[in-house]
Amino acid sequence: MRIEVVADEHALAPRAADLICDAALAKPDAVFGLPTGTTPLAAYAEIERRVWGRRADFSRASAFAIDEFAGVPWSTPGTNSMFFRRHLRVPWPLHLPDPAAPDPEAEIRAFAGGVRAAGGFDLCVLGIGVNGHIAFNEPGSARDSRARLVSLTPESRAAHAEAFGSLDAVPARGMTLGVADLLEARALLVLAQGDAKAAPVRDALEGAMTAAVPASWLQGHPDILWLLDEAAASRLDSRAPGPAGAARPRAKKR
Burial class (CB in 10 A: 0-12, 13-18, 19+), 246: exposed
Sign of CA dihedral 156, 166, 232, 121: positive
The string over 150-167, giving b where at least 16 C-beta atoms fall within 10 Å of a residue's C-beta and e elsewhere, is: bebbeebbebbeebbeee
Q: Does residue 22 have a pLDDT over 90?
A: yes
Which residue did the predictor score with more confidence, 251 or 41?
A: 41
pLDDT, mean over the chain: 94
Q: Does residue 182 have a pLDDT over 70?
A: yes
Amino acid in the structure at residue 41: L
Of the CATH numbers 3.30.1320.10, 3.40.50.1360, 3.30.930.10, 3.40.50.720, which one belongs to the domain with range 2-253? 3.40.50.1360
- Residues forming the active site: 67, 131, 133, 138
Axis-axis angle for helices 9-26, 41-52 (nearest 10): 50
* Residues contacting residue 143 through CB under 8 Å, at least 6 positions apart: 179, 180, 183, 209, 211, 217, 220
pLDDT digits (tens, 9 = 90+) for 140-180: 999 999 999 999 999 999 999 999 999 999 999 999 999 99
Q: Does residue 129 have a pLDDT over 90?
A: yes
H/E element holding 175? Answer: strand 173-176
Q: The whole model's pTM is what? A: 0.93
pLDDT digits (tens, 9 = 90+) for 99-109: 999 999 999 99
CA-to-CA distance for 21 and 3, rounded, in angstroms? Answer: 19
CA of residue 107 relative to chain centroid, distance = 20
Per DSSP, what are the bridge partners of residue 229? 6
Q: Where are the alpha helices (DSSP H) in the chain?
A: 9-26, 41-52, 80-87, 104-117, 154-159, 161-164, 179-183, 198-206
pLDDT value at position 180? 98
Q: Does residue 13 have a pLDDT over 90?
A: yes
- The CA-to-CA distance between both ends of the chain, in Å, stands at 17
pLDDT digits (tens, 9 = 90+) for 186-204: 999 999 999 999 999 999 9
pLDDT value at position 220? 87
CA-to-CA distance for 28 and 70, rounded, in angstroms? Answer: 32
